[in-house]
Amino acid sequence: MAEAEGSGEDNSLAGRAAKAVGGVVLEALETDKVGVAADRWAEALRIARDDLGLSFFSWLSAVHWANDPQVGDALSEEVTERFELLCAVSDVTAGELVVFSTDLGASDPTVDSLIGVYPGADWHERECREMFGITFLGHPRPENLYLPNGFVGNPLLKSFPLLSREVKPWPGEVDVEDMPEVTGGG
């Protein structure tokens, strides 16, 4: 996990959540993000639901942090190779949202399933298993959503030679162009 910000008392939702679940507030580009240990993943999200009122499951996905992509440019700086599992949950009144994060090993990414905490995690966990190769312990139906049975590989791994990355390499540089000027009456 990334290093925690600051050292003082943090009364933000992320600060309260981190304290409640035994996690840390992480740098997250103006998003409340809480890092927790992988062995506390499901328990931390149960506490978030039950004690913090974060009862709405929004999404779950992962990032494959790897130094040598199969296709495209190498990273500008070395990273610790791993999977970062992310889950966004919120309350249903004020719309306060927290993104929970945990790091999983690069070679055997395994974590407890959230289905017993948030039934809506079912589809998201199946997608992460299929696309990244993450194992969710206790998931009752780990069958594929998109890929045919017998497909070999996990297409969202940076080491997977996906043809679309030949066209626009990942993590390749993003070419940002100015918006065209509007002319005429409409």
**pLDDT tens digits for range 46-74:** 999 999 999 999 999 999 988 877 766 67
Identify whether the C-beta of residue 31 lies closer than 8 Å to the C-beta of residue 46: no
Residue 79 tokens read as 């990273």
Mean pLDDT of 64-88: 84
Number of H helices, E strands in the chain: 4, 7
Sign of dihedral through CA atoms 157, 160, 165, 170? positive
pLDDT at 22: 87
Mean pLDDT of 75-80: 83
Residues above pLDDT 70, as percent of the chain: 81
State yes or no: pLDDT of 159 exceeds 80: no
Which amino acid appears at position 46 of this protein?
A: R
Which helix (DSSP H) or strand (DSSP E) does residue 127 occupy?
Answer: helix 121-132
User: Higher pLDDT residue, 158 or 185?
Assistant: 158
pLDDT at 126: 95
Query: Under DSSP, is residue 38 helix (H, G, I), strand (E, B) or coil?
Result: helix
pLDDT at 6: 44
State yes or no: pLDDT of 179 exceeds 50: yes
pTM exceeding 0.75: yes
Identify whether the C-beta of residue 65 lies closer than 8 Å to the C-beta of residue 103: no
- The secondary structure of 51-94 as a DSSP string is HH---EEEEEEEEEE-SS-SSSPPPSS----EEEEEEEEE-SSS
Residue 98 tokens read as 């927290």
pLDDT at 82: 93
The answer for residues whose C-beta is within 8 angstroms of residue 163's C-beta and 6 or more apart is none
Question: For all residues of the chain together, what is the average pLDDT?
Answer: 83
Give the distance, in angstroms, between the CA of residue 87 and the centroid of all CA atoms in the same chain: 6
Domain ranges of the chain: 13-178
State yes or no: pLDDT of 165 exceeds 50: no
Question: Confidence class of residue 30 from pLDDT cuts 50, 70 and 90?
Answer: confident
Please name the fold of domain 13-178.
Answer: Beta Polymerase; domain 2 (3.30.460)
State yes or no: pLDDT of 174 exceeds 60: no
pLDDT tens digits, 90-139: 999 988 899 999 999 999 999 999 999 999 999 999 999 999 999 999 99
* Spatial separation of the C-alpha atoms in residues 147 and 153, rounded to whole Å: 10
Which helix (DSSP H) or strand (DSSP E) does residue 163 occupy?
Answer: helix 163-167
β partners of residue 135 = 110
